[in-house]
Structure 1
Amino acid sequence: MKTDRDLSLPALLVTVAVWASAFVGIRAVGDTFSPGSLTLGRLAVGALALTFFARPRSTALPTGRPLLLVALYGVVWFGAYNIALNAAERDLDAGTTALIVNVGPIFAAVIAGFLYREGFPRPLMIGMGIAFGGVILIALSADNPSTGVETASTTGVLLCVAAAAFYAFGALAQKPALKHMQPVMSVWLGCLVGVVVCLPFAPALVAELGSASAHDIGWLVYLGVFPTAIGFSTWSYALKRISTGQAASTTYLVPAVATLISWAVLDEVPAALAFVGGVLCLVGVAITRLKIRRRSTPSRTLTTPAS
C-alpha cells in the first residue's frame, strides 16, 4: 500500500522562512496599523486565502471537544498572540522580538508539566533560569539608541514574554485538535476565530486603511497570505506528524533569519547585549529539552538530548 511521503522538514523550513519575515513585516507597518487592526486585517486576508483550500462546504466541521480546542487556540494564538506581538514590535526591533518570543517552548514545557503531570525536571528549571536571564539582558539592552527604539522598551519585552506564553498555549491546544481535522482546515478555523475576536478593531482598521500607502497595504496582504495562510498551514502539516517539541525546536532558526531579513530590509540590527541575551535564551530552551536517563544501576544517571 502506498503511503504519503512525509514532508515535515521542508514544511518546517518554509514555516521558518515566512514566520521570520513576519517579524520584519510587522515592524515595517507598525507606524501605520495599530496592533489590533493589524491582527484583524492579517487574519481576514489569511482566512480569505484559505477558504478555497479548506473546502468548508465539502469537509465536515469539528464538533465537541475538537471545536473547543479550535476556539482556544484561535483566541489565544491567532488573536492574543498576534496582538501582543504587534504591540511589542512598536518598542523592539524585529530580531530582538524574535529572540524573546522563542522562549515559547519553555512555557509549553511548564504548561505540560501541570496539565499532563510531566513534572518539572532539573533541566527544565535550569534552562528556564538561563533563558529568562537572557530576557533580562535583552531588556537592559533595549534602550540602546543604536537600535532606533525611542519608547519604553521594557514594555515591549514584557509583551514578547506574554506572546511567547500565548504561543505555547496555542501550540499545545492545536496538537490534539489536528487529530480530528486536516491542517488547512485547522488554520482556516483558527483565523476565523481570531477575526471574530478582533472585530472590535474593525473601525480602526477601516480608518487606517484609508490613510495607508500601497506599500503598507502590500505588507498587510503579505502577512495574511504568507506568514499566516502558508506559514501556519505548513506548521500544522508538520505538527500533525511530529511532536510539539520537535516542531517547536525547529523554530529556533527564526531569530537568526529574522535578524538577517531585518538588517537587509529595515537596516535594523539588535544591540550587542541583545545578541548575548538571545543566545542565552536559545541555550536555556535547549537545556530544557534534555532528559535524564537512568541506567540499570540506580546510583548513576546520564543526561542526553531529547530525541
Structure 2
Amino acid sequence: MQDHPSGAKLLDTKPQRSLFERLTALISPEPEDRAELLHILHDAHERHLIDADALSMIEGVFQVSDLSASDIMVPRPQMDVIDVTQPIEEWLPLVLKTSHSRFPAVEGERDKVIGILLAKDLLRYYADESFDVRGMLRPAVFIPESKRLNVLLRDFRATRNHMAIVVDEYGGVAGLLTIEDVLEQIVGDIEDEYDFDDDADNILPIRDGARGARWRVNALTEIEQFNEIFGTAFSDKDVDTIGGLIADHLGRVPGKGDVVEVDDLRFEVLRADARQVHVLLVEKLIEAAAARAS
C-alpha cells in the first residue's frame, strides 16, 4: 500500500449528493416511483421523523412540477389592470383599494398589455407634475398557458421578475400569475392583500357585479358566523368552516375558479392553493334571477 506524506489528505472524488438524494438514501427500502416515495414520507411523518410542515412542503414541490401556469393563474376577468389611455385619476382609486404591488398596464383593452407598473413608482406622481406613466412601465413577461411551474419558478429567480402575463395559443391574454402564486403551492398561503385582519372582516361586501350584490368571504369563516350573516342554515356537523363546506360539496380540494351553487348561493373560489381554499366570492342566486328578469 502506497504511503502518503504526513498530514496529506486524499481528495474525495465522489459527487456531492443533493439534499433530496440524501433524504431518500436514509429511507429503506429505496422507493421505485414518486407514489412509493410519498407513501414512505407519510410513514416517516407518522413515526415523527419529519414534521407536518416539512411533509406539506415536499408534497408541494411535487405538485409544482405537475402544474402549469393555467392551473393557478388569476383569470383574465379577475385581473386588476390600469389603462394608460385614461387619466391617472381614473384608475388611481383602484390602485389604492387593491394595494397590489404590481399592475399590468393595458392600452385600451386587456389583450394589449404594454408593461407592468410598480405601485411604488406612483410616488413620483405626487412629486413630479410632468409624471409620465408610460415612461415608468417595466417590460412585461409573457408565458404560454402550458408552462410548467417549476420551470417558471426557475425563470423568476434567474430574471428577478415577479409577475408574468399568461397568453393562450392565439396570443390573447388568459390571465396572470406572480412568483408568490408559485411559492404558495409549496409553502402554503402567504399573507397578502387577500388576507383578513380579524373575524369582523371575514365577510366583506364588495362592488356589485352583473348578478347583483357580492361578498368576499374568508374560507375559514365558521359556518355559524356565515349562517348569521346570510340567514342560511348550513350544518356544521361534518365541517366547521365555509371553505370546508365547499370542499365537501366538490369532493376534493377546491381550485381557483371553481364554482359551486348551494341552496340559493353561488360560491366562486378566488384564491386557493394545493391544500385548501382561502377566499370565496359569494352571490345570492335569487338576486341574480331578479337582475336577469328586470
Instruction: Please indicate, yes or no, whether the TM-score normalized by the shorter chain is above 0.5.
Output: no
Question: TM-score w.r.t. structure 1 length?
Answer: 0.23
User: Quick check: which one's helix share is greater?
Assistant: 1
Q: Which has the higher strand share?
A: 2
Larger radius of gyration between Structure 1 and Structure 2 = 2
Which structure has more relative contact order (CA 8 Å, sep 6+)? It is 1
TM-score (structure 2 length as normaliser) = 0.24
